[in-house]
Each structure stands twice: as C-alpha cells, then as structure tokens.
C-alpha cells in the first residue's frame, strides 16, 4: 500500500514538471493526446470493464462532445472551452437515448447496437450541414500558441476523471456496477435496478468521453465527422486502450493510453522515419496483432497481469 | 392475513402449462415446504413470485397487496429475498463484497454495508472465507453464500430454492441448523427441496405439486402418507400397496 502511494506521488510529480523539462512540442503533443486517451479509456472502462456493458460506440459521445464545443463557437460565438462541461452534458443527453435503445439488449447484442449507433450518428453529422458544416468540418482559432496550457488542462481532466471513477467504485454505485457485470439476474434479485444502474454507468462514461471530445476540439482546432465519429480511430481505439492496459483496473486505461498512443505514433511516423512510408499503412494490422497477443498471453492487460509480467521478466533476467 | 398468498397462479410457456391453478398461503413465522418431482413447476413458482417470469393468470399477494407486475428488484425491496437453485455467485468478487453489495439494499454507506455483511457472514458461518473470490468456494459454501446474500437484503420472507441439493450428510445438518436459525430470527421461509430428510424435519406445512397442479397440502406427516404424493414420487403400484 505504501509503495503504491509512493509510486503515485512520483508519477504525479513527473506529470507536473514534464512540460517544464521537456521543451519539445512534438513530445508534449504526444503526451497531451495520451492524456486525452486516459480520459476516454477510463470512461470506457467504467461502462465496459466494471459494469460489463461493452461499448463499440464511444465515438458517439466523443464526437458529440467535440461538436458541442465547435458549435458553441460557430453558432453562438462563445468560447469552445465551455464545451468542456457542456459537451459532457450533451453527451449525457445523447447517452440517455442510446441507453434507452441499447440496454434492451445484453452482451454482444448490446455491443453491436452501440456500433450501429456510432455509424448512424456519423452519417447524421455528415449530412446535417446546417448544424455541423458536414464534411467541411469546423475550424476554430486556438486559444493558446504554446502546448503548455493544453498539457495542464488535459492532465487536470485526466486526474479528475480517474479520481471520480475511483470514488464511484468505492461506493454503492461501484458495488452495483460490478454485481451487474458478474450476474445480471442475481443482481436484480438482490434489489438492484439493473436498468437504472447500467444507465448511470453509461451517463458518467458519456460525460467524461464528451469532455475529452470537447478538449480535442479546443486543442486540435479542427474536427470533421470522419475523425471524431470514427469507428476505427475512436471507438475501437477506446477498446484497445482498455484491453491493453487492463479492463476493470483503475490505472489500466491510463497505462493503455500511453502504450497505444506510442504504438500509433510509431507507425504513423514509420518508425520515426527509419522504414519506408508504406510500412506505416500496416498499423491497423499491428493493432490487431497486439490485441491477439494481449488476449492470448495477458487477458487482464498490462496492469491486470502486472504480477505475471514481472515474474516472467524476472525469470528471463535470472 | 397471510404473509404471502398465491391465488390461482397460472404460468404458460407457449403451449405448455407449467403451473396450473396453484393456490396456497404462507403464514408469518412458519417454514412452508414446496415439494414435487422434477419438472413439476416448483422453481417456476419462485420465478413467478419475484417476477423473473411474468405470470399468465392469477395473483400473488404479499402482506395483502398484489405484487403482480412489480419489477424483480422492487419485490426484493418489499422484503422478499431468494436464493437460486443453480447458484449465481458474483464470481470474481470476494465473498465479503458479494454480501456487501446486497446489504446496500437497505443501507447507503459502505461502512454500514460492510458491518452488516460481516454480521451476516458470521451468522452463516462464512466469515473465515470472506476474502476468497466467490468462485473459489466449494458448493456448500456457495449455497451458504446464496443464503447470506439474500439475508443481507433484510427479507421478511425468504425463498430457498434447493439449498440442500449436492451437500454431504454433515453439511446437510449444518444447512438444517442454519435454516432453523433464520426462522428463529423472525424470517418466514418458503422452501423448495428434494431431500426429504430436510423438508420433512423442518417444515411446518408442506404443499405438494405435480405437473404444475396441487396434489396435497398439510403437515409433513399428512403429506408423506398422502396417496397422490406417493404415486407422484414412487408410481401407482406403491400407492396401492
């Protein structure tokens, strides 16, 4: 317990001083994106890892959050930063509808319904041009030229997100979420309204994902439907972050976010320019291989199977 | 007024009538046994009482008020707890967490819930296994955990579905003692059981069904000597002899 606290303090201090000791905007950018994925991955993990409702449609909430922030600027001429709260709230409103429809289904059918939901909303956003500008996308002016303010905003959002989920998991809600994951019928017979608590989990998850979306709008200053509602880059990536890091662990998605952003960047940049550009086209393939590897050899992810990993690495050294 | 009353309960699965016109009432404080051969509809009746299955016709009254159509979790909040014949432990949670989750039915803070869970685990003689994952318990432990979880919801009426099935003789005696202790604590019990040693020694009254229909009701002795019951269990020849 003590060493865990110590590790947390060390990581905390490192996170706080990072942009001060690393002047490179490139690395700052990567860490900012990773922190954003910490938020999305943790939010996904609350619903899928702890509550057992695997979502293939978290791009819905991410995109809605991003578009809320963008539309605040294009339609209402107010700062996109209000989207950090409003985006989450609008994502929750959308989540109410998603839950109303999709929670009639269980297990893989729920997952497929959320996948369909993500595709539907992407098409709506593409075609509802009067609101979203369609494929032209939304371009806003960035608030800061330096990466540093964005870094601290992303860091604060990630810290708040993990802390709130930590508190939830230590409460009645947390016990109820896990009970629902373990056995929905048993949970219901123990007085747990499974419909209500699945929706609560979805709403909290949607809020943080929406907030991350709004942050993306502010930070990247440009969005279009094919980016923020992307099945591949958002919904699937959220799942990968969760699985690689470790589902149903508090720090799993945080670790998974840094790993996956690292892998993605390595391939996008074609091993930082060391290999021909066409190799980078293979990143989807490598994502697939990573998932297979994780599922076969460490089904609980890097954090969930940390003891196992340590043992094997130790053996190799000895 | 009876604590629980079934009025002409009917349950159809498609063309199959699983429960046909069954009526009985359970008085406060008693242990009421429900028996019948395999597939006679005992568990279906449980599933109708707490609305896992919507009932086709008839009514279920709890403390005089109809609970027909209420959600399963609402029925639990009213004070009807149940266990499952095929145990449903929350497998990857610890024994303590299983019971703590149930205790949240009546309390709101984690401290109260855990205190309650400790008390109930002690009552059910499971305290020494509290930190084990539920899936690591042997079958006797899992059956106890089912009971502990149901007790944590503070029921007035407890539905026990074959809690003695699969237990060895010494575990059976423990189970009988536990059920008696639960009754002494003021909880009414409706029990489904195949093992005659259990049902005959602890029940105050027994209701026997076959093919979804009532065939007998009375004290354990009366039911054991009832022709229709012997016929259902052992066949016509034995009933005549």
- Whichever domain contains B198, its CATH number is 3.40.50.300
Tell me whether residue B221 is in a domain.
yes
Chain B residues closer than 8 Å to A186 by CB: 84, 88-90, 149
Mean pLDDT of A206-213: 97
* pLDDT beyond 90 at A310: no
Tell me whether residue B168 is in a domain.
yes
Tell me which residue in B52, B93, B153 faces A191 most closely, judged by beta carbons: B153
Tell me whether residue B81 is in a domain.
yes
CA B78 to each of CA A191, A192, A292: distance values in angstroms, whole numbers, following the listed order? 9, 13, 47
- The model's confidence at residue A163, banded by pLDDT at 50, 70 and 90, is very high
Mean of all residue pLDDT scores within chain A: 90
For B148, nearest residue in chain A (alpha carbons): A190
Does the structure's ipTM exceed the value 0.95? no
In this structure, the strands spanning B213-218 and B4-13 are: unpaired
pLDDT for res A190: 94
pLDDT for res A180: 95
* pLDDT beyond 60 at A139: yes
Domain that holds residue B193: 4-89+156-240
- The model's confidence at residue B233, banded by pLDDT at 50, 70 and 90, is confident
pLDDT for res A271: 66
Mean pLDDT of A270-296: 75
Tell me whether residue B183 is in a domain.
yes
Residue of higher predicted confidence among B133 and A276? B133
Give, for A196, the enclosing helix (H) or strand (E): helix A194-220
pLDDT for res A39: 97
pLDDT for res A241: 93
Mean pLDDT of A240-245: 92
Determine the length of chain A: 318
Q: State the burial class of residue B108 (Cβ atoms within 10 Å of its Cβ: 0-12, 13-18, 19+).
A: exposed
pLDDT for res B65: 93
Give, for A106, the enclosing helix (H) or strand (E): none
Number of structural domains found in chain B: 1
pLDDT for res B106: 93
Tell me whether residue B98 is in a domain.
no
Chain A residues closer than 8 Å to B71 by CB: 188, 193
A interface mutation test: which of B72, B94, B97, B145 has the most A CBs within 10 A? B72
Asked if B207 contacts B33 with a C-beta cutoff of 8 angstroms, the reply is yes
Model pLDDT for residues A10-69, shown as the tens digit of each residue: 999 998 999 889 889 899 999 999 999 999 999 999 999 999 999 999 999 999 999 999
Mean pLDDT of B151-173: 91
Model pLDDT for residues A78-108, shown as the tens digit of each residue: 999 999 999 999 999 999 999 999 999 998 9
pLDDT for res A317: 52
- The alpha carbon of residue A196 is apart from the nearest alpha carbon of chain B, in Å, by 11
Mean pLDDT of A114-139: 92
Q: Give CA–CA dist A240/A293, Å, rounded.
A: 12
Tell me which residue in B73, B90, B105 faces A183 most closely, judged by beta carbons: B90
> Of A64-78, A92-106, B192-206, where does mean pLDDT reach its minimum?
B192-206
A interface mutation test: which of B104, B117, B159 has the most A CBs within 10 A? B104
Determine the length of chain B: 241
Tell me which residue in B50, B76, B97 faces A175 most closely, judged by beta carbons: B97
| Cβ contact, residue pair A191, B73, below 8 Å | yes
pLDDT for res A98: 96
Tell me whether residue B189 is in a domain.
yes
| Cβ contact, residue pair B113, A182, below 8 Å | no
Tell me whether residue B112 is in a domain.
no
Q: Tokens 């943790």 map to which residue?
A: A42
pTM (2 d.p.): 0.91
* pLDDT beyond 80 at A282: no
CA B17 to each of CA B8, B11, B22, B52: distance values in angstroms, whole numbers, following the listed order? 13, 6, 12, 17
Tell me whether residue B110 is in a domain.
no
Mean pLDDT of B12-21: 92
* pLDDT beyond 70 at A186: yes
pLDDT for res A273: 67
> Of A11-25, A163-177, B97-111, where does mean pLDDT reach its minimum?
A11-25
| Cβ contact, residue pair A182, B90, below 8 Å | yes
Percent of chain A scoring above 70 in pLDDT: 95
Model pLDDT for residues A255-281, shown as the tens digit of each residue: 999 999 998 888 877 666 677 767 667
Q: Tokens 């729920």 map to which residue?
A: A110
* pLDDT beyond 50 at A318: no
């Amino acid at each position: 317990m003590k060493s865990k606290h110590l590790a947390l303090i060390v990581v905390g201090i490192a996170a706080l001083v990072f942009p001060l000791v690393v002047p490179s905007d490139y690395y700052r950018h990567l860490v900012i994106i990773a922190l954003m994925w910490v938020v999305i991955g943790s939010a996904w993990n609350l619903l899928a890892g702890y509550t057992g409702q695997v979502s293939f449609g978290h791009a819905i909430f991410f995109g809605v959050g991003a578009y809320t922030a963008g539309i605040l600027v294009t339609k209402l001429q107010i700062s996109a930063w209000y989207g950090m709260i409003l985006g989450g709230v609008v994502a929750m409103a959308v989540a109410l509808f998603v839950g109303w429809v999709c929670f009639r289904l269980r297990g893989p059918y729920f997952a497929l319904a959320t996948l369909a939901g993500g595709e539907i909303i992407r098409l709506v956003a593409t075609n509802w041009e009067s609101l979203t500008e369609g494929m032209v996308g939304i371009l806003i002016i960035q608030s800061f030229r330096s990466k540093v303010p964005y870094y601290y905003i992303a860091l604060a959002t990630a810290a708040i997100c993990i802390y709130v989920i930590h508190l939830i998991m230590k409460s009645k809600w947390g016990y109820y979420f896990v009970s629902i994951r373990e056995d929905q019928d048993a949970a219901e017979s123990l007085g747990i309204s499974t419909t209500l608590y699945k929706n609560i989990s979805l709403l909290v998850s949607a809020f943080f994902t929406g907030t991350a979306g709004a942050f993306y709008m502010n930070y990247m200053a440009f969005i279009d439907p094919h980016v923020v509602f992307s099945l591949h880059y958002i919904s699937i990536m959220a799942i990968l972050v969760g699985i690689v890091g470790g589902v149903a662990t508090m720090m799993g998605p945080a670790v998974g976010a840094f790993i996956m952003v690292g892998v993605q960047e390595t391939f996008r940049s074609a091993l930082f320019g060391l290999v021909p550009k066409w190799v980078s086209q293979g990143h989807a393939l490598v994502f697939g291989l990573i998932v297979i590897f994780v599922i076969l050899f460490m089904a609980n992810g890097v954090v969930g199977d940390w003891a196992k990993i340590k043992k094997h690495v130790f053996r190799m050294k000895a | 007024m009876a604590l629980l009353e079934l009025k002409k309960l009917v349950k159809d699965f498609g063309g199959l009538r699983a429960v046909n016109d069954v009526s009985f009432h359970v008085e406060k404080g008693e242990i009421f046994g429900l028996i019948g051969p395999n597939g006679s509809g005992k568990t279906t009746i449980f599933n109708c009482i707490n609305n896992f299955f919507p009932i086709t016709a008839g009514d279920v009254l709890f403390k005089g008020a109809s609970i027909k159509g209420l959600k399963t979790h609402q029925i639990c909040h009213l004070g009807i707890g149940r266990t499952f014949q095929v145990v449903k432990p929350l497998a990857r949670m610890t024994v303590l967490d299983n019971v703590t989750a149930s205790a949240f039915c009546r309390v709101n803070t984690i401290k109260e819930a855990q205190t309650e869970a400790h008390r109930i685990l002690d009552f059910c003689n499971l305290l020494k296994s509290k930190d084990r994952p539920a899936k690591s318990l042997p079958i006797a432990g899992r059956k106890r955990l089912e009971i502990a979880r149901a007790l944590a919801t503070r029921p007035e009426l407890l539905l026990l579905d074959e809690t003695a099935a699969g237990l060895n003789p010494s575990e059976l005696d423990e189970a009988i003692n536990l059920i008696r202790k639960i009754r002494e604590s003021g909880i009414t019990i409706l029990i489904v059981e195949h093992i005659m040693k259990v049902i005959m020694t602890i029940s105050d009254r027994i209701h026997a069904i076959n093919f979804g229909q009532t065939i007998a009701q009375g004290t354990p002795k009366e039911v054991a000597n009832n022709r229709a019951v012997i016929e259902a269990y052992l066949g016509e020849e034995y009933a005549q002899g």
